[in-house]
Amino acid sequence: MTALTPLVPMTVDPRALGKVAVLMGGHSAEREVSLMSGSGVLAALRRAGVDAHAFDPAERPLWDLACERFDRAFIALHGRFGEDGTVQGALELMGIPYTGSGVLASSVAMDKVMTKRIWRAEGLPTPDWRQVDSVAETQAAFDALGAPMIVKPAREGSTIGLTKVTSREQCAAAYRLAAQHDPEVLCEQFIAGDEVTCPVLGSGAAAQALPVIRIVAPGGNYDYQNKYFSDETRYLVPCDLPAGEEGAIQALVLAAYRTLGCRGWARADVMIDAATRRPYLLEINTAPGMTGHSLVPMSARAAGLDYDALCLRLLADAALDNPLPVVRRGEGR
C-alpha cells in the first residue's frame, strides 16, 4: 500500500454549520440507494450535533429550502436530478452551499460519453467506446470493439441498465435495456483484469486520493445486487496490488478528478488490464454512496477518518460556484 498521510478529523463547530438539509430520495432510478445513503448521513450529522433535517425533493419543492432558511445542503441524491448538475444549479440560485462538485463538473461527470471524450483529449486512458442510437449501431460497435463488450446507459449509475455482451445476438436486448433508461447508449470495450475504485477528497491542488479498494465480486459480476445488498462481494483495502500500482492509480484518479473540475469529493472506478497491468478509467461518481456497503467510507476509514468525521468534513467543505449575495424570499422587502 502506498504511504498515506493519515486524515485528521477537522475541528468543526456544528453550530456554525447552521440549518442543514440532507437531500435524499429524489426521482432517479437510484432512489432506494439514495434513501439509504441519506439516512446514514443524517444520523451521523445529528450525532455530531448538527441541526440536520431530511429533505426529499420527490416529496417537497426545492424552493422550500430557501423558504425555510436552510444554510447548507448535503447532497445524498444519486443519479439524475441529483448529481447531474440540476440540483446543484437550483442551490446556486438559492445561494445555499452544497457538498460535492459544482454545476458543470457534476453535469459532465454524469455523462459517461462526455467524460470519456474529455479524458481521451487530455491523454488519460479510458477503454475504447462507441455511442449508439440503434440495434444496428450496437452490432457494428460489437464488430469494432470485440467481445466481451459493455452496453450501458450513458447517464445512469449503479450499473443500472448494464449488460455484458459476449455475442452479436445479445446486442439487440442489451441496447433495448440500456435505452429504457437513457436515449444515449454507450458501448464500451471490456477490460479483463482487476476492478478497483479510488475516492478523492478536497479540491484543486489540495485534493487527496484515498486508499485504493480492490473489488472481488461473485463470478466477477459487480452488479446492482452485489454492490448494495450482497455480503459475498469482497473489498480489499489494503488493495494488495503489485508494488507501485496503487500510487499510479491514485495519481491517475487525481488527474481525472482535476481535469473535470471536481471538488469536495468523488470516487473513480478503474479497471487494470490483466495482461499489461495498465489502468483504464471507467467513470467518476461525484455523489458517491454512503450506505453500509459504500466504498468512500471504507477507504476513508482505512486512512483514519470514520464515517461521522467524514460526513462532517464533507459538510464543512460545502461551497457554491458563484458565492454572490442572494436575496431569499421574504428578505429585502
Burial 18-53 (b: 16+ CB within 10 A, else e): eebbbbbbbebbbbebbbbbbbbbbebbbebebebe
Catalytic residue among 283, 307, 308, 313: 283
Marked catalytic residue, from 31, 72, 267, 313: 267
List 25, 30, 100, 156, catalytic entry: 30
- For residue 103, the SS3 value is helix
Could you tell me if 209 and 198 are in contact, meaning their C-beta atoms sit under 8 angstroms apart? yes
Out of 175, 289, 294, 299, which one is annotated catalytic?
289
Known catalytic residue at 168: no
Catalytic residue of the set 84, 111, 245, 269:
269
**Residue tagged active-site, from 158, 226, 294, 299:** 158
Catalytic residue among 285, 307, 308, 313: 285
Residue 37: active-site member: no
Q: Edge to edge, what strands does the sheet with 129-132 contain?
A: 129-132, 185-189, 149-153, 163-165
Is 280 annotated in the active site?
no
Active site residue 30: yes
Answer yes or no: are the C-beta atoms of 217 and 293 closer than 8 Å: no
Active site residue 289: yes
* 146 included as an active-site residue: no
B/e letters for 187-197, b = 16+ CB within 10 Å, e = fewer, are bbbbbebbbbb
Instruction: Say whether 221 sits in a helix, a strand or coil.
Output: coil
Q: Dig out the grid coordinates for 32 from the structure.
A: 432506494
What separation in angstroms does the CA of 268 have from each of 15, 68, 199, 209, 288?
Answer: 33, 35, 6, 10, 9
Give the CA radius of gyration of the chain: 20
- The yes-or-no answer on residue 240 being catalytic is no
Instruction: Say whether 51 is catalytic.
Output: no
Active site residues: 30, 158, 228, 267, 269, 283, 285, 289
